[in-house]
Chains A and B, each alone.
Chain A
Amino acid sequence: AQTVTQSQPEMSVQEAETVTLSCTYDTSESDYYLFWYKQPPSRQMILVIRQEAYKQQNATENRFSVNFQKAAKSFSLKISDSQLGDAAMYFCAYSVGGYNKLIFGAGTRLAVHP
């Protein structure tokens, strides 16, 4: 079965500090994409970062970076210099190549404290 597991239902971080959100997934495919999406209280989901499974180099987008361990099927998100606007639900997801069907995890709620 294709699944995504986010083992941390809730996390918190102090403003300006660094936090890492965990994600593991299960797929037998070799070609796939991995994503982190953010869902603020306004509900609109926003793509944070994307990783192509065939690329060994970890993706980075400004303060957001991932640690992609393909053999371990692990895909964690690191947020550096956390800001109050980073507070949201974060969903890890993957899709098999050639398709926009995303398999989402249950999410991690991130709180950012001033």
Chain B
Amino acid sequence: ETGVTQSPTHLIKTRGQQVTLRCSSQSGHNTVSWYQQALGQGPQFIFQYYREEENGRGNFPPRFSGLQFPNYSSELNVNALELDDSALYLCASSPRTDTGELFFGEGSRLTVL
């Protein structure tokens, strides 16, 4: 059984640029969530996708957007990068939308200069 995989593992961008992070969900999971984990903090919920539709969003501005594809893989896009966007971005998949039982990837470390 293949777990959650994310790419890239590390990347460096400059302020104002755009970034796309990718996530392949665990086999059989139709729900994907994205979290932002700043250094020394717990993860913060960005949004969740279920069957290609966003069905929940945290307190993040519209320049954070996402997609989910028919195979349940997902993308996180961040436009107009700011220094504070530097963080570990975690993708998590789940077989259900409501249990909180999440299977996480290893994350994508984004550094904004």
- Of the candidate stretches B14-22, B64-72, B79-87, B96-104, the one touching chain A is B96-104
Q: Which residues of A contact B100 (CB under 8 A)?
A: 33, 35, 50, 93-95, 99-100, 102
Q: Are A91 and B88 in contact (CB-based, < 8 A)?
A: no
With A45-B90, A100-B33 given, is the CB distance from A106 to B106 under 8 Å?
A: no
Residues of B within 8 A of A42 (CB): 106
Q: How far is the CA of A33 from the CA of B97 in the complex (A)?
A: 13
* Minimal beta-carbon separation of A110 from chain B (angstroms): 15
Pick the contact of A43: B94, B96, B106 (CB < 8 A). Answer: B106
**Number of A positions contacting B (CB below 8 A):** 25
Among B48, B92, B99, point to the contact of A33 (Cβ < 8 A).
B99
CB atoms of A104 and B43 under 8 A apart: yes
In whole angstroms, how far apart are the Cα atoms of A35 and B44 in the complex?
15
How many A-B contacts are there with CB distance less than 8 Å? Answer: 70
Contacts of B92 in A (CB 8 A): 45
Q: Are B106 and A99 neighbours in the complex by a CB distance under 8 Å?
A: no
Q: Interface 1/0s, chain B 20-56, versus A by CB < 8 A?
A: 0000000000010101000011111100100000001
Question: B8 at interface (Cβ–Cβ under 8 A)?
Answer: no
A86-114 interface code vs B (CB 8 A; 1 in, 0 out): 00000101110111111111110000000
Please state if A98 and B107 are interface contacts (CB–CB under 8 Å): no
Any B CB within 8 A of the CB of A44 = yes
Return chain B residues, CB-CB under 8 Å to A33. Answer: 99-100
Return 6 A-B CB contacts under 8 Å, by A number.
Answer: A35-B100, A45-B92, A47-B101, A99-B97, A101-B58, A105-B42
Residues in B lying within 8 Å of A, measured CB to CB: 31, 33, 35, 40-45, 48, 56, 58, 88, 90, 92, 94, 96-107
